[in-house]
Structure 1
Amino acid sequence: MGKAGRVACIFTPYVLTIASLICIIMVGLGCTKSSSDTLNNLYFMRIDLQNITSEGSETVTEIENLLEQYGITDVSAQNVSNVLSKLQQDSTLADFYQIGLWGYCDGDINNKKTNVTECSKPKSEFYFNPFSVWGLDSSDIKDELPSEYNKVMNIYKTVSKWMFIAYLVAFIVTIVEIVVGFFAICSRWGSCVTTLFALLAFLFTAAASITSTVLFSIFKSSLGTTLKAYGISLSMGKNIYVATWLAVAFSLGALIFWTFSVCCCSGRSPYGHRNNNNTRGITAEKAPYTYEPLGAGQVPYGHQQPTSYPAPAAHGGQYPMTTTNQRSNAYEPFRHS
């Protein structure tokens, strides 16, 4: 397979790598621009506070049973009610909040239609701290919080930091993979190096996608049912998870095809191999009836090998005339086969 075949073999993983990069960029752009409806629909989780109330729709016993079901034993229904009551009194809340990778957006809901009004400034290693975002850092609010609140928030902060780093590394390594992929056209060594970067890109993209999916799934399952009784609903975004798992699928496909290009799709032509004498591997057979030089010790066709006789003593051991002046490269008249 020549260079053209090599280029065709590299084309597929190259396109898959670019597609994976585009998906990662879409994840990073979510919740960064309030005027873009497309980017506003890219969020990990939405917190809907439109119908928040401090009076639960269920009984105190039912709420406490739900808290115990998810391992929240140091929080009572009265604690939740007190926090939400002060939340309504002490702050001006938006109808909803959307959490992205670099920040969050908030807005209003009119006739069941969401309208994003503002997005936070993008920040590295972002995590959503509800009381900080809502301006509820006063001591009277914190007094109503459970004792393990800070511990839970520290875990969430650590996981969010790792998730951000994983997405960032996946983005950088995927770009490097695209750049190094140019050298894969020239040789299998280029494919080998590109495959190493493709493996790193896949691992970090998959790790980031798994982290984000598991993290917000736990939040929704553990808190969603309880908070729903107080008019607060949690929902996971759809588009951003489609984008992040498509990035994983494209990255995996690119890794497979880059690996295939290391084993196959050589850029050398099968007719271009030479032997040690720098000649073609296939030699032509000599045609009959052609002239060729005679080597040492060969005699022309039809001639006999001259016989040496001792020179007579009368001439001093030498012949008066010799007829041995023959051409060393005489040609055979015809070669018969």
Structure 2
Amino acid sequence: MSLSSFRRRPATATSSSHDGQKESPQPSIEDPAVLKRETRARRVFSGISCFCYLMAVIFLILVEIGNTRNSPVIRDIYFFKLDLTDILPQSAPTTLSLQNSIARTLGLHDFYQVGLWDFCEGYNTDGITYCSTPTTLYWFNPVEILLGELFAGASIALPSQVNEILNILRIASNIMFGFFLTALLLDFVLMFLAPIAVFSRWWSGPLGFFALLSTLLVLIASSLGTAMSLIFKYALTSQTDLNVNADVGLKMLAFMWIATGFTLLSFIIHAGLCCCCTSRRDIRTGRRNARHINEAGSREKGRTTTATSD
């Protein structure tokens, strides 16, 4: 009788271990806490991309509003600035009265600076005195503006390089204007759409495509703006007999390329999310097993094995 009781004890212990296993249910993949833990890396990178888009939008807005009016910060954002203070005229009427600078004597302003929407002009002693009306697809025509302001009988010899690049300048300015504006709108929209990449890898594809498109737009526009400013500066300052100085707007160039960098970083993140980091759909469809669930199952299996062996 005692022998039968002894033989039934292992079965009782085994059933107890099975009952204990049933009393400890494993986490479900539909548990919000599990989904949140498993997609943590994807959520972090999506948040970083949103931040990058936000920074790109801010700097692109500064590029857009630069030089549009005479106010602090905005008036210092321009592509290039022409200093005509000591310009040498080709001819001047004897009836002209001398002013503070040669440019004033000829009827010109001391400086002209160019933005994306307009140009501003002014005097060294008074600052900016006038900004043209912001115009879409604006381009700066120095021949028309400078020759139009000269007093009657006065003339200046603009270098031939300026006349040769006017058509290129117009086309580059129009492309740059459209690309900057389109990239700004794309980055603004993507800033709000980026978090949906957490739910599925399928969303990372379209988001990556539009991020690439925005990156190309900003990159091309920034390259055109930089090249246009440098070429214009070289074309004017290379003529020593004209004595005109030209400065490239470092703030405008810095803002353009910072926006380009942030947009490029966002594209790299979206491209990486197409193949990396677990999404919610990966867990629900079984493409990626939930690590925390597997760990919990392994621990429970280990406890069951230990109880059975005992």
Q: Please indicate, yes or no, whether the TM-score normalized by the shorter chain is above 0.5.
A: yes
Call closer, same or farther: CA 1:152–1:218 in 2, change over 3 Å.
closer
For residues 44-63 of structure 1, give each alpha carbon's deviation from its aligned partner in whole angstroms, at most 9, with x where no partner exists: 11011122222xxxxxxxxx
Residue 104 of structure 1 deviates from its aligned partner by: 0.8
Q: Does 2:107 correspond to 1:105?
A: no
In 1, the alpha carbon distance for the partners of 2:209 and 2:174 equals 25
Match for residue 117 of structure 1 among 102, 122, 129: 129
Partner Cα distance (1:90, 1:109) in 2: 14
Corresponding residue for 1:202?
215
Q: In the superposition, relative to structure 1, how do residues 230 and 42 fare at CA in structure 2: closer, same or farther (>3 Å)? A: same
- Post-superposition Cα deviations, 1:282-334, rounded to whole Å, max 9, x if no partner, equal 6988x8xxxxxxxxxxxxxxxxxxxxxxxxxxxxxxxxxxxxxxxxxxxxxxx
Q: Select the residue among 42, 53, 64 that pairs with 1:28.
A: 64
Separation in 1, partners of 2:135, 2:223: 22
Give 1:305's aligned residue: none
1:185 to 180, 198, 205: 198
Asked whether the equivalents of residues 39 and 280 of structure 2 are also in contact (C-alpha less than 8 Å), the reply is yes
Contact 1:131–1:137 at 8 Å: present in 2 too? no
The answer on whether the counterparts of 2:106 and 2:154 sit within 8 Å (CA) in structure 1 is no
Aligned pairs for 1:6-155 within 5 A: 6-34=42-70, 36-54=71-89, 81-82=90-91, 92-110=107-125, 115-134=127-146, 136=148, 152-155=165-168
Give ranges in structure 2 of 5+ residues lacking alignment.
1-36, 97-101, 288-292, 305-310
Residue range with higher mean Cα deviation, 202-211 or 155-164: 155-164
Summarize the Cα distance change of 1:84–1:40 in structure 2 as closer, same or farther, 3 Å threshold: farther
Following TM superposition, by how much is the alpha carbon of 1:152 offset from its aligned partner in structure 2, in angstroms?
Answer: 3.4
* Larger CA deviation: 147-156 vs 209-218: 147-156
Distance 1:141 1:189, change over 3 A: farther
Answer yes or no: is the 8 Å Cα contact 1:30–1:43 preserved in 2: yes
1:266 and 2:301 are equivalent in the alignment:
no
Task: List aligned pairs for 1:294-309, cutoff 5 A.
Answer: none
Distance 1:119 1:213, change over 3 A: same
Distance of 2:76 and 2:212 partners within structure 1: 30
User: Which of the two has higher C-alpha Rg?
Assistant: 1
The CA deviation string for residues 221-240 of structure 1, in whole angstroms up to 9 with x for no partner, is 232121x5433211111100
CA distance in 1, matches of 2:284, 2:158: 77
Equivalent residue pairs, number: 254
Q: Is the partner of 2:270 in helix, strand or coil?
A: helix
Question: What are the Cα deviations for residues 224-280 of structure 1, in whole angstroms up to 9, with x where unaligned?
Answer: 121x543321111110000001111111111111112221222339986669xxxx9
Distance 2:185 2:92 in 1: 42
CA contact (8 A) 1:45 1:236 kept: yes
Give unpaired runs (5+ residues) of structure 1. Answer: 55-80, 288-337
SS class of match (1:122):
coil
CA 1:181–1:89 in 2, change beyond 3 Å: closer, same or farther?
Answer: closer
1:235 match: 247
> Which residue type is aligned with residue 156 of structure 1?
L
Distance 2:236 2:157 in 1: 17
Per the alignment, do residues 91 and 141 of structure 1 end up closer, same or farther by CA in structure 2, a change over 3 Å counting?
A: closer
Q: Which has the higher helix share?
A: 2
8 Å contact kept, 1:94–1:107: yes
Secondary structure of the structure 2 residue equivalent to 1:107: strand
Aligned to 1:176: 189
**Kindly, what percent of the aligned residue pairs are identical?**
27
- State TM-score, norm by structure 2: 0.69
Q: What one-letter code is carried by the residue in structure 2 that aligns with 1:266?
A: T
Residues 150 and 184 of structure 1, relative CA distance in 2, 3 Å threshold: same
| Amino acid aligned to 1:195 | G
The equivalent residue for 1:291 is none
Are residues 1:214 and 2:227 paired? yes
Cα distance in 2 for residues equivalent to 1:107 and 1:147: 25
C-alpha distance in structure 1 between counterparts of 2:282 and 2:162, whole Å: 69
